[in-house]
DNA sequence: GCGTACTACGTACGGCGTACGCAGGTAAGA
DNA sequence: TCTTACCTGCGTACGCCGTACGTAGTACGC
């Protein structure tokens, strides 16, 4: 059988493989949920870098090293934080039956969550996030695609693709909306680049300026998402040429 | 006129707005290119975290604080590193005229570069990377789309979308190919999840197993990229319903 | 020639992740 | 019931990190 030991050098690096409670010893004073909530609150208020082990432990009223009884590595604290955000999603009991609508609504809800927690996109790159809430999310996403003729692998790819786009969009929105010194410098820089004349394509592409699209705030997101969903739902054609 | 001062509290945070050389004082012993090359070499060999200011300075044979004459902030060192990687692209003198082929070849080349520099995807999220090499790349990308009827904004969105997918794919490939302890734990965990029976959709999606796709290594990349290029080149239709 | 802006860099500060060891408490096995 | 092994809580300490600051030397513009 597999070894269930959770301490020592052969302890699993994946926190979801560790039982939250072993039954021996004193009752733990904190839960994974409360730890994750404290870390998320700090990251929301002061940025991801502020969510250090010391700060989170202090927010819980615990000594720094006590936190390591619950979260053996910082990386696993990040896993807990991500799963806590996914837990905020309000998933319908079951999909409506229209994959396009279901996915669009789902991704829209995720965008709202990512606007509350702007540090998520930087974290989610290359991190599966398959905790309890992540599993529920995955299950719902796959259920949305149950009526299609996509293969299992194609469904997983679709989830990765749409979530990747989501994070990319949310991060872009966050950095451009942040304002501040960096953005002002960037504008100055791009103006100089454009007037230099050395980059005609770029100058032409930026000719319209970013001032021509204020009407619908989320139009770009909705339109691109709509296209991606269509692309993803298209049955697999023949292999491309290249 | 704009203020060109490069020191003091009002110095621009964007490194590309700082002249590399002002003409006064002793000749600098290093160049931005050599600094970036040293940092890239360290990150390639030992990971992004190893590319600290101290390590890079030491690799250049300089004192730690001397590096701050060239790179006032760590963040700007990362900008230099990204631009150095973009500088490795071997861009054709001009596009062939077929946007699909041009973009596919370009993204393929980028994938090859990201395989050499696996730390790039984590960095590129939310970072424009518009140094000298980034500008050349942008110019070429836009030139590939010059023959289409896409708007300037649509071209920029296309670039962001395809590059986002590229980084996401490269990061996924990197983490899954890395092997090691974490991946083994993940397999154990997912097996338990599947056999628990609580996640039937997930169990079904993973039924084929990841062992059914060894034939063409880059088939998923090519196929998805092909679809995304098609989606991006499609002229803008009416607004979606939702 | 002189002043000034630049380069080079040693020291130091506050913060980080976390290894280690110890005290005290609790549940399982005798 | 008593023992014992393991758990929790946490203070201390180590080696990193980014970087503020001060000082000394150098080479160009006037």
Distance (Å) from the C-alpha of residue A131 to the closest C-alpha of chain B? 10
- What H or E segment, with its residue span, contains residue A31? none
Is residue B77 within 8 A of residue B29, CB to CB? The reply is: no
**Arithmetic mean of pLDDT, B20-35:** 87
Q: CA-to-CA distance for A241 and A124, rounded, in angstroms? A: 33
Could you check: is the Cβ of residue B21 within 7 Å of any atom of nucleic acid strand C? yes
Buried b (16+ CB within 10 A) or exposed e, A41-59: ebbbeeebeebebebbbeb
Cα A149–chain centre separation: 27
pLDDT at A26: 83
Here the contacts of A25-30 (C-beta below 8 Å, separation 24 or greater) are: A28/A69, A28/A70, A29/A62, A30/A60, A30/A62, A30/A70
Helices B99-116 and B132-144: angle between axes, nearest 10 degrees: 150
Q: How far apart are CA B130 and CA B86, in angstroms?
A: 10
More confident call, B85 vs A207: B85
**Which pLDDT does position A5 carry in this prediction?**
38
Nearest to B242 among A104, A157, A202 (CB): A104
- What is the pTM assigned to this prediction? 0.92
Number of Cβ atoms within 10 Å of the Cβ of B25? 8
DSSP letter string, B141-193: HHHHTTTS---HHHHHHHHHHHHHHHHHHHHHHHHHHT-HHHHHHHHHHHHHH
3-state secondary structure of A153: helix
Given CB atoms, is A201 within the 8 Å cutoff of chain B? yes
Q: Is the CB of residue A162 less than 8 Å from the CB of residue A103? A: yes
**Residue B47 contacts A where some CB pair is shorter than 8 Å:** no
* Across B19-47, average pLDDT: 91
Q: What percent of chain B has pLDDT over 90?
A: 75
Residue to mutate among B129, B189, B206, with most A CBs inside 10 A, is: B189
pLDDT over 80 at B63, yes or no:
yes
Q: How far is the CA of B1 from the C1' of D30 (A)?
A: 25
Per-residue pLDDT averaged across B19-24, rounded? 80
Interface contact B152-A208, CB threshold 8 A? yes
Nucleotides of C under 7 A from a protein CB: 4-12, 15-21, 24-28
Specify the pLDDT at position A210. 58
Cα–Cα distance measured from residue A179 to residue A158, given in angstroms and rounded to the nearest whole number: 33
Burial letters A115-126, b for 16+ CB under 10 A, else e: eebbbbbebbbb
- Establish whether the CB of B34 is closer than 7 Å to any nucleic acid atom in strand C: no
pLDDT reported for residue B5: 38
Mean per-residue pLDDT over chain B, rounded: 89
Q: Chain A contact for B154, CB < 8 A?
A: no
Residues contacting residue A148 through CB under 8 Å, at least 6 positions apart: A99, A155, A233
The pair of three-digit structure tokens given for residue B106, joined into one six-digit string: 């370009």
Q: What is the pLDDT of residue A219?
A: 93
Q: From CA A164, how far away is CA A241, in angstroms rounded?
A: 25
| CA A222 / C1′ C22 distance in Å | 58
- pLDDT score of B12: 80
Distance from the first to the final alpha carbon of chain A: 47
| Per-residue pLDDT reduced to its tens digit, B175-228 | 988 777 888 899 999 999 999 999 999 999 998 765 555 667 899 999 999 999
Q: Give me the B residues in range 144-163 that sit within 7 A (CB) of strand C.
A: none
Interface subset of B 50-69, CB within 8 angstroms of A: none
The distance (Å) linking the CA of A24 with the C1' of C30 is: 18
CA atoms within 13 A of residue A108's CA, in its CB half-sphere? 14
Top-level class of domain A99-232: mainly alpha
B75: enclosing H helix or E strand: helix B74-86
Collect all residues of chain B within an 8 Å Cβ-Cβ radius of residue A239. Answer: 219, 222-223
Q: Which residues touch strand D (CB under 7 A)?
A: A 6-7, 21-22, 24-26, 28-30, 62-66, 68-70; B 23-27, 50, 52-55, 64-65, 68, 73-75
Q: Do A126 and B174 touch (CB under 8 A)?
A: yes
Q: What is the pLDDT of residues B109-151, one digit of tens each?
A: 999 999 999 999 999 987 888 999 999 999 999 999 999 999 9
Tokens 């998805």 belong to residue: B224
Asked if A236 reaches chain B (Cβ–Cβ under 8 Å), the answer is yes
In this prediction, residues B37-62 reach a mean pLDDT of 98
Q: Which of A143, A188, A222 sits opposite B2 (nearest CB)?
A: A188
Chain D: nucleotides under 7 Å from a protein CB?
A: 6-13, 16-22, 25-29
Quick one: pLDDT at residue B211?
A: 54
Residue A236's CB: how many other CB atoms inside 10 A? 11
Q: Which residue in A189, A207, A237, A239 has the most chain B C-beta atoms within 10 A of its own C-beta, making it the best mutation to test that interface? A: A189
The more confident residue out of B163 and B236 is B163
Q: CA torsion angle for B199, B205, B208, B210 (degrees, to 10)?
A: -100
Cβ distance A113 to A124 under 8 Å?
no
| pLDDT (average), residues B146-162 | 95
Boundaries of CATH 1.10.10.60 in chain A? Answer: 15-86
- Cα distance between residue A56 and residue A72, in whole Å: 14
Choose from B102, B192, B213, B231 for mutation: most chain A CBs within 10 A. Answer: B231
Write out residues 101-130 of B within 8 Å (CB-CB) of A. Answer: 101, 104-105, 108, 121-122, 125-126, 128, 130
Q: Tell me if A185 and B128 make a contact (CB, 8 A cut-off).
A: no
Helix (H, G, I), strand (E, B) or coil at A199: coil
pLDDT over 70 (residue B237): no
Q: What angle do CA A171, A172, A178 make, to 5 degrees?
A: 90
**Looking at residue A12, what is its pLDDT?**
81
**CA–C1' distance B71–C6 (Å)?**
15
CA of A59 to C1' of D7 (A): 23
Cβ B242–A231 below 8 Å, yes or no? Answer: no
As annotated, the residues of chain B forming the CATH 1.10.357.10 domain(s) are: 99-232
Q: Which residue in this structure is represented by tokens 């596009």?
A: B95
What's the whole-number mean pLDDT along residues B100-105?
Answer: 98
CATH T-level assignment (fold) for domain B15-86? Arc Repressor Mutant, subunit A (1.10.10)
Q: Quote the pLDDT of residue B1.
A: 31
**Which nt sits closest to A52, CA to C1'?**
C16
CA distance A178 to A36: 25
Mean pLDDT per block of 10 residues along chain A (242 residues) reads 43 88 82 97 98 98 96 96 98 95 98 98 89 97 96 95 97 87 90 94 84 73 97 73 48
Nearest residue, CB atoms, A142 vs list B188, B205, B212: B205
């Amino acid at each position: 059988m597999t070894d269930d030991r959770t301490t020592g050098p052969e302890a699993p690096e994946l926190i979801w493989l560790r039982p939250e409670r072993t039954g021996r010893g004193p009752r733990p004073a904190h839960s994974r949920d409360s730890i994750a909530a404290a870390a998320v609150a700090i990251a929301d208020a002061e940025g991801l870098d502020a969510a250090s082990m010391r700060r989170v432990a202090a927010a819980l009223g615990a000594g720094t090293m006590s936190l390591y009884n619950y979260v053996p590595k910082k990386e696993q604290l990040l896993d807990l934080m991500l799963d806590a955000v996914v837990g905020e999603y309000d998933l319908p009991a079951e999909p409506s039956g229209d994959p396009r609508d279901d996915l669009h609504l789902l991704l829209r809800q995720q965008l709202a969550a990512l606007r509350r927690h702007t540090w998520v996109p930087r974290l989610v790159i290359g991190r599966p996030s398959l905790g309890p809430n992540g599993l529920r999310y995955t299950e719902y996403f796959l259920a949305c695609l149950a009526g299609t003729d996509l293969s299992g692998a194609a469904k997983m790819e679709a989830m990765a693709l749409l979530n990747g786009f989501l994070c990319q969009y949310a991060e872009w929105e966050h950095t451009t909306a942040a304002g501040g010194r960096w953005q002002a410098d960037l504008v100055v820089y791009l103006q100089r680049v454009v007037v230099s004349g050395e980059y005609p394509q770029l100058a032409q592409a930026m000719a319209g300026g970013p001032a021509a699209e204020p009407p619908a705030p989320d139009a770009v997101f909705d339109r691109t998402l709509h296209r991606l969903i269509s692309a993803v739902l298209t049955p697999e054609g023949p292999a491309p040429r290249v």
